Amino acid sequence: MTKIGIIIGSTRPGRRAETVARWVYDIASQRTDAEFELVDLRDFNLPHLDEENPASRGEYAHEHTIAWSRAVDSYDGYVFVTPEYNHSTSGALKNAIDFVYKEWTNKAAGFVSYGGAGGARAVEHLRLVMGELQVADVRAQVALSLFTDFENFTTLAPSPYQVGQLSTMLDQVVAWSRALHGVREPVAA
């Protein structure tokens, strides 16, 4: 079964990312075409990148990196739930992405963002990063506005339109995750 990790891309106190990710999970878990799991960056307690070697070498010295590597590697695709901070993604999410390399490659990713402008600029930055990691990011995305998809800027209340956008994005992530499975598996001689 295809496994998709829904990554909670903020560790900030009072974050909205966990609520948004649980909304994504509640809808995604009703599907029968893939298994979905929440992945909370807080659970990994990653410091600012502290590995001596570049992630592309896959030589990890620290237990927190090894645990993160195993978690990322266990999924066929990802849904990144990201806030927009200063026209980009959160530092915690970028840091977590940078810890490993090959564990991301030849997989698929979709994005659910939120912010004053729906988090669109955070996703644009993440799309550039995904390209370098050889991750196929899908076209459809969910951009939740703090003005229209949250009550009083805090309580998630997405419009029905957003549910449709989420469904389309999940369709694409599952399809691309399946398609790329053969790229990740070694060819038998």
d(CA 81, CA 165): 14
Residues 77, 108 contacting (CB under 8 angstroms): yes
The torsion angle over the Cα atoms of residues 39, 59, 138 and 121, rounded to 10 degrees, is 80
Question: What homologous superfamily is domain 3-183 in, according to CATH?
Answer: Flavodoxin domain (3.40.50.360)
Residue 163 has pLDDT above 70, yes or no: yes
Average pLDDT, the chain: 96
Q: Which of 41, 53, 45, 39 is nearest to 4 (CA)?
A: 39
Query: CA-to-CA distance for 101 and 82, rounded, in angstroms?
Result: 20
Q: Could you give the CA distance from residue 105 to residue 19 in angstroms, rounded to a whole number?
A: 28
pLDDT digit string (tens) for 129-141?
Answer: 999 999 999 999 9
Q: What is the pLDDT of residues 50-71, one digit of tens each?
A: 999 999 999 999 999 999 999 9
Give the distance from CA 17 to its chain's centroid. 11
Which residue, 108, 107, 79, is CA-closest to 93? 79
Structure tokens at 62: 């620290």
Any idea where the domains of the chain sit in the sequence? 3-183
Q: pLDDT category, 184, cuts 50, 70, 90?
A: confident
